Chains A and B, each alone.
Chain A
Amino acid sequence: MSHRTIFKFTSEPLVLSRRLIIWGLLIMVLLMVGCRQQDVLLEKEGDDTTPVPGDTIITGTIADASNLLPMLSTDSASTEVSSAIYNGLIRYNKDLEFEGDLAESWQVSDDGLEIVFHLRHDVRWHDGAPFTSADVLFTYQLLIDPETPTAYSERYKQVTEALAPDPYTFIVRYKKPLASALISWGMGIHPKHLLEGQEIATSPLARAPIGTGPYRFVEWLQGEKIVLERNEDYFEGAPYIKRIVFRIIPDLTTMFLELQSGGLDKMGLTPLQYARQTKAPGFVRRFNKYRYPAFSYTYLGYNLNKPMFQDRRVRQALSYAINKQELVDGVLLGLGQPANGPYKPGSWPNNAKIKPYPYDPAKAKTLLDEAGWSDHDGDGIRDKDGTPLAFTMITNQGNDQRIKSGEIIQRRFQEIGVDAKLRVIEWASLLKEFINPGNFDVTIMAWTVPIDPDAYNVWHSSKTGPNGLNFIGFKNDRVDELLEQGRSTFDQAERKKIYDEFQEILAEEQPYTFLFVPDSLPVVARRFHGIEEAPSGIMHNFIRWYVPEALQKYQR
């Protein structure tokens, strides 16, 4: 399973379980007497540890996929399904380091301008056709073709030349060295013999894909389920689990009920479900819970084009006024950690020496006083030259975590004499009317964190224009320099130095108040063995998961 490295907003709505309220309210049901359903499947720890093929895993997904050609879809459901069907040339391993996928090996030239990939010889498409460098070249040409409606073309346009000198060699050359170029070749490679001369946008492969990956496509019932079965000829060895069924269940509460009744084997839990609803002995006996930091962080972003936020002391004061641990405890029920910067805690780009901003309202008040924001007119709100320190925080509808964070922050701001309002706006409107035109004071949003630390698109001053990702208008010459250097440096130790300094500047400047990093909370039925937690999560060795024969549940 390859990781896509995309800066993308995480906008999945978080639905909190309503079960507690339900039970609290309905006493009359308790009068009904029912016979307890016997656990159909008594899960025992199988002592049989030799992996055997068989069984099906049923995974819950909140949304249906849209398009199973990797280059044409941006939604997470499609990506999850297509990553089991396709391979890229390289991928991140469990420790988030590069490893070959369809490429056996690769070399980057000393000047960083050329990458040579040596491809595997033993790969076949699911229809039996051999995989060669022609497929890679074809995929590249599709990606840069103006007729292809792909959202991934930008990094491939940096390529000056792409060559396939023989069936198992693929060479790309760049104008400028680009460190994140390497992982752009983690994009799923598309089959030339099936797509050539076709209009890709309307290709039947979007709905019935043929790839090189560990699983082949079986069927897709719209809005209901997608079924894959193992590829017996997979070049890394056939997976043990025979089938994957993605069941589409748009409601997280329903999904959790399905899980409890045995209709699902795997899902991502909400913090509430994880913390409060998985303690029953029956649940513990049948499921394993996992927990590790997610690849995302939630932040408060200040619009630096607004005069009140141009003074660094004001931004620092606001950071001191927020109790991040309180947010983690209240919003995530402790299942997360305070964030101090734009990288995942514990990953190599993260600068562990950054001093966190502790909750210190006294210091916040001092800083605001220094900056000239005091309560001159005695109305309880700080002001300066007749302007009150009042602003509106905006966030998107449907994301409870952000809305609750906003409410808690609002109160903390009030305590230091800052009047913050909270507005919740539908996603498309939020982007179109407020974020893109820079028409906002403060926003609460989240970024997914790519594994490659290149943060050029979010923090470089050239990206401050309309529709740029640096919509808060952060401009810092030193940061620009660092981001340019970091992009074109391949050596990890060198890069670390560069990005460490970049994080120091962000910590000092506080253009964002980094709020928290939530945890990923997957749960998997206990009959699945071979699961191994790693920095990348639990899916990295999915083809090596297995169910001991005695515990197998589905025969077909």
Chain B
Amino acid sequence: MVLYLAKRLVMMVPLLLGITLISFTVIHLAPGEPTDLQTDLNPDAGVELKERLRAQYGLDQPLAVQYGQWVKRLVQLDFGTSFSQDRRPVWDKIVERLPITVLINVLSIALILAVSIPIGILSATRRNSTFDRLTTLFVFIGFATPSFWLALLLMDYLGVYLGWFPISGIKSLGHEYLTGPQQIWDVIHHLMLPILVSAFGGLAGFSRYMRSNMLEVVQQDYILTARAKGLSEKIVIGKHALRNALLPLITLLGLSVPGLIGGSVIFESIFAIPGMGKLFYDGVMMRDYPLIMGILVIGAVLTLVGNLLADVGYALADPRIRNQS
């Protein structure tokens, strides 16, 4: 197991280098440079300003040299300085946005699991019942509903018309004057709508997945055996079937690890939440290379780690796999 882990970790290094090399090449292929936005179509900016800025950012070097310098800095865990007009370290910009994005995504995944696992089980055990059909219809409607549309609708009705929820942002205006528990409630209150909306679309995938796993498992011989032994349906499903049906979810959860830091630009714009999605989008629009690369590297590392965790988790949960490796 330890040897296996070490092997996987060593394999990650060239993979990561490959990913960064491709990302670096692709974003430099996009027309436009970070300096353009400050100097183009601006009569007050001289030609030499553009050249000076390019020199300051190191954009006058050949691409290979730029990439080399970037990797050299990365090895020292330095993500460089943002090319935007605020010139702040990339790491700071990412760190201040990460917590809220991770919080929303973790809560949203938790909500999805809490709702979709029971739905999936019930749909599978009562296959083709009215309940099964209704939930199928419901989750597909959810899957097909554009999240921005649902968000605006809920904001208008629940926020403006009924006044039950705050409309956007994550804190009230006088947040700093509230007591501790009030502050916590304030944030929860602000997060309810966004989490509801972001979970709504994800229900379909997970619940259908759960349903088909369950269907597959209940047709296995050992379930027949369990039933033949006279065990109650509750124990057959809840203990014998569920454990095996949940296994593939480990892979799914592993795959969703990188998603935890990737916000959605549409969603964050609508709810005015300063998260990673908007940061990345603005970075791309401004051609802020260090910021784009920083976020991509973190995403790539998390993807690889997520995969590894899923494999390890799988091995821990399933003795058949463990004994193979």
What's the least CB distance linking B160 to chain A, in Å?
Answer: 5
Looking at B43, B84, B157, the one whose CB has the most chain A CB atoms below 10 A away is B43
Residues of B within 8 Å of A64, CB to CB, are: 274
- With A22-B152, A223-B278, A249-B168 known to touch, is A154 a contact of B85 (CB < 8 Å)? no
Are B87 and A254 neighbours in the complex by a CB distance under 8 Å?
no
Query: Is A247 at the interface (CB under 8 A from chain B)?
Result: yes
Residues of B within 8 Å of A58, CB to CB, are: 173
Q: Choose among A36, A153, A245, A431 the residue that contacts B41 (Cβ–Cβ < 8 A).
A: A431
Looking at A75, A223, A258, A432, the one whose CB has the most chain B CB atoms below 10 A away is A223
A436–B31 Cα distance when bound, in Å, is 12
Within 8 A of B (CB), among A208-231: 221-224
Contact string against A for B residues 121-153, beta-carbon threshold 8 Å, 1 for contact and 0 otherwise: 000000000000000000000000000110011
Are A263 and B166 neighbours in the complex by a CB distance under 8 Å?
yes
Contact string against B for A residues 133-174, beta-carbon threshold 8 Å, 1 for contact and 0 otherwise: 000000000000010011111110100000000000000000
A70–B52 Cα distance when bound, in Å, is 19
A245–B79 Cα distance when bound, in Å, is 32
Name the residue of chain B whose CB is nearest to the CB of A73. Answer: B85
Residues of A within 8 Å of B36, CB to CB, are: 428, 431-432
Residues of B within 8 Å of A267, CB to CB, are: none
Name the residue of chain A whose CB is nearest to the CB of B47. Answer: A467
Residues of A within 8 Å of B285, CB to CB, are: 427-428
What's the least CB distance linking A203 to chain B, in Å?
Answer: 10
Are A66 and B40 neighbours in the complex by a CB distance under 8 Å?
no
Are B40 and A467 neighbours in the complex by a CB distance under 8 Å?
yes
- Segment at the A interface, from B206-214, B227-235, B265-273, B299-307: B265-273
Are A250 and B159 neighbours in the complex by a CB distance under 8 Å?
no
Are A26 and B153 neighbours in the complex by a CB distance under 8 Å?
yes
Are B39 and A151 neighbours in the complex by a CB distance under 8 Å?
yes
Is the interface on chain A under 10, 10 to 19, 20 to 34, or 35 or more residues?
Answer: 35 or more
A258–B155 Cα distance when bound, in Å, is 9
Query: Is A52 at the interface (CB under 8 A from chain B)?
Result: no
Contact string against A for B residues 31-43, beta-carbon threshold 8 Å, 1 for contact and 0 otherwise: 1110011111111
Within 8 A of B (CB), among A69-83: 72-75, 78
A73–B37 Cα distance when bound, in Å, is 11
Are A151 and B274 neighbours in the complex by a CB distance under 8 Å?
no
Within 8 A of A (CB), among B37-58: 37-50, 52-53, 56
A66–B155 Cα distance when bound, in Å, is 29
Are B44 and A151 neighbours in the complex by a CB distance under 8 Å?
yes
Query: Is A6 at the interface (CB under 8 A from chain B)?
Result: yes
Residues of B within 8 Å of A157, CB to CB, are: 46
Within 8 A of B (CB), among A475-493: none
Q: Choose among A32, A249, A458 the residue that contacts B272 (Cβ–Cβ < 8 A).
A: A249
Query: Is B217 at the interface (CB under 8 A from chain A)?
Result: no
Are B86 and A6 neighbours in the complex by a CB distance under 8 Å?
no
Are A153 and B169 neighbours in the complex by a CB distance under 8 Å?
no
Residues of A within 8 Å of B173, CB to CB, are: 56, 58, 245, 263, 554
Within 8 A of B (CB), among A2-51: 6-9, 18-19, 22, 26, 29, 32, 34-37
Are B32 and A429 neighbours in the complex by a CB distance under 8 Å?
yes
Are B41 and A154 neighbours in the complex by a CB distance under 8 Å?
no
Query: Is A433 at the interface (CB under 8 A from chain B)?
Result: yes
A428–B32 Cα distance when bound, in Å, is 5
Residues of A within 8 Å of B177, CB to CB, are: 556
What's the least CB distance linking A276 to chain B, in Å?
Answer: 15
Q: Choose among B42, B49, B274 the residue that contacts A7 (Cβ–Cβ < 8 A).
A: B42
What's the least CB distance linking B251 to chain A, in Å?
Answer: 34
Are B97 and A223 neighbours in the complex by a CB distance under 8 Å?
yes
Are B46 and A154 neighbours in the complex by a CB distance under 8 Å?
yes
Contact string against A for B residues 264-295, beta-carbon threshold 8 Å, 1 for contact and 0 otherwise: 00001111101000110000010100000000
Are A432 and B272 neighbours in the complex by a CB distance under 8 Å?
no
- With A149-B56, A201-B87, A206-B86 known to touch, is A254 a contact of B168 (CB < 8 Å)? yes
A321–B33 Cα distance when bound, in Å, is 38
Are A34 and B162 neighbours in the complex by a CB distance under 8 Å?
yes
Residues of A within 8 Å of B157, CB to CB, are: 29, 32, 34
Query: Is B167 at the interface (CB under 8 A from chain A)?
Result: yes
Q: Choose among B33, B42, B169 the residue that contacts A6 (Cβ–Cβ < 8 A).
A: B42
Name the residue of chain B whose CB is nearest to the CB of A248. Answer: B272
Query: Is A67 at the interface (CB under 8 A from chain B)?
Result: yes
Residues of B within 8 Å of A153, CB to CB, are: 44-46, 49
Are A250 and B272 neighbours in the complex by a CB distance under 8 Å?
yes
Query: Is B156 at the interface (CB under 8 A from chain A)?
Result: yes
Are B272 and A152 neighbours in the complex by a CB distance under 8 Å?
no
Query: Is B96 at the interface (CB under 8 A from chain A)?
Result: yes
A224–B96 Cα distance when bound, in Å, is 11
- With A18-B152, A19-B152, A254-B167 known to touch, is A67 a contact of B86 (CB < 8 Å)? yes
Are B42 and A151 neighbours in the complex by a CB distance under 8 Å?
yes
Query: Is A257 at the interface (CB under 8 A from chain B)?
Result: yes
A146–B48 Cα distance when bound, in Å, is 9
A56–B173 Cα distance when bound, in Å, is 10
A151–B53 Cα distance when bound, in Å, is 10
Query: Is A469 at the interface (CB under 8 A from chain B)?
Result: yes
A72–B177 Cα distance when bound, in Å, is 34
A3–B37 Cα distance when bound, in Å, is 21
Residues of A within 8 Å of B86, CB to CB, are: 66-67, 206-207
Query: Is B215 at the interface (CB under 8 A from chain A)?
Result: no
Query: Is B4 at the interface (CB under 8 A from chain A)?
Result: no
Residues of A within 8 Å of B112, CB to CB, are: none
Contact string against A for B residues 152-184, beta-carbon threshold 8 Å, 1 for contact and 0 otherwise: 110111011111001111110110010000000
Name the residue of chain B whose CB is nearest to the CB of A203. Answer: B87
Are B167 and A152 neighbours in the complex by a CB distance under 8 Å?
no
Looking at B149, B152, B170, the one whose CB has the most chain A CB atoms below 10 A away is B152
Query: Is B2 at the interface (CB under 8 A from chain A)?
Result: no
What's the least CB distance linking B141 to chain A, in Å?
Answer: 11
Residues of A within 8 Å of B153, CB to CB, are: 22, 26, 29
Residues of B within 8 Å of A278, CB to CB, are: none
Contact string against B for A residues 235-266, beta-carbon threshold 8 Å, 1 for contact and 0 otherwise: 00000000001011111011001101101000
Name the residue of chain A whose CB is nearest to the CB of B156. Answer: A257
- With A34-B162, A222-B96, A432-B36 known to touch, is A261 a contact of B167 (CB < 8 Å)? yes
- With A34-B157, A37-B163, A431-B32 known to touch, is A253 a contact of B152 (CB < 8 Å)? yes
Looking at A66, A146, A429, A554, the one whose CB has the most chain B CB atoms below 10 A away is A66
Query: Is B30 at the interface (CB under 8 A from chain A)?
Result: yes
Given contacts A258-B167, A429-B31, A436-B40, 4 further A-B contacts (CB under 8 A): A35-B162, A74-B38, A250-B268, A469-B43
Interface residues of A (CB under 8 A from B): 6-9, 18-19, 22, 26, 29, 32, 34-37, 56, 58, 64, 66-67, 72-75, 78, 146, 149-155, 157, 201-202, 206-207, 221-224, 245, 247-251, 253-254, 257-258, 260-261, 263, 427-429, 431-433, 435-436, 457-458, 467, 469, 554, 556
Could you pull out 9 A-B pairs where Cβ atoms are within 8 angstroms?
A: A18-B152, A74-B37, A74-B42, A78-B85, A151-B44, A223-B274, A254-B269, A263-B173, A428-B285
Ranked nearest first, the 7 interchain pairs of A and B with the lowest CB-CB distance are A223-B274, A428-B32, A37-B163, A457-B43, A66-B85, A250-B269, A151-B45
